[in-house]
């Protein structure tokens, strides 16, 4: 394989590469910086809701004992309330499109489902 790749390359020095654009220019933001303000807030909202849902699933699966589900429910309910409250405060005054409202509904639904799952685990533990 090494001989073939060398054989295909034309002999002689390589032409100089073009310089890379300077990434510190003010017009080139990285990551979420290039998104509109509403989308940036909604992306963080959906990401935080996903983290809360993962904490709920992992907490239910990994924390044993009779107090484990109660602890998971308390953490998930508190985190869900905090994430929801912060996102709603950040979205005040921003014009949301239909796609933005869909993302907002998905994130709120994910928080609700993870809280309900933690509540069901509490009820299953206390009733058994």
Token output for 51: 């983290």
Give burial (CB, 10 Å; 0-12/13-18/19+) of 118.
buried
- What is the tens place of the pLDDT at every residue in 13-71? 776 777 766 556 555 556 666 777 778 888 889 999 999 999 999 988 888 778 888 99
The full set of domain ranges for the chain reads 49-128
State how far the alpha carbon of 111 is from the alpha carbons of 6, 57, 100, 108, in Å.
56, 12, 17, 5
For residues 88 and 108, what is the distance between their CA atoms, to the nearest angstrom?
A: 10
pTM above 0.75, yes or no: no
pLDDT in tens, 58-113: 988 888 778 888 999 999 999 999 999 998 898 888 888 888 889 889 999 999 99
């Amino acid at each position: 394989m090494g001989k073939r790749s060398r054989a295909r390359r034309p002999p002689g020095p390589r032409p100089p590469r073009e310089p890379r654009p300077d990434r510190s220019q003010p017009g080139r933001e990285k990551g979420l910086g290039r998104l509109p303000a509403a989308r940036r807030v909604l992306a963080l909202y959906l990401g935080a809701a996903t983290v809360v849902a993962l904490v709920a699933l992992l907490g239910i699966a990994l924390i044993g004992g009779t107090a484990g589900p109660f602890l998971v429910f308390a953490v998930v309910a508190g985190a869900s309330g905090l994430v929801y409250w912060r996102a709603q405060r950040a979205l005040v005054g921003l014009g949301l499109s239909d796609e933005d409202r869909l993302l907002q509904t998905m994130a709120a639904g994910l928080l609700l489902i993870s809280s309900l799952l933690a509540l069901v685990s509490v009820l299953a533990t206390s009733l058994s």
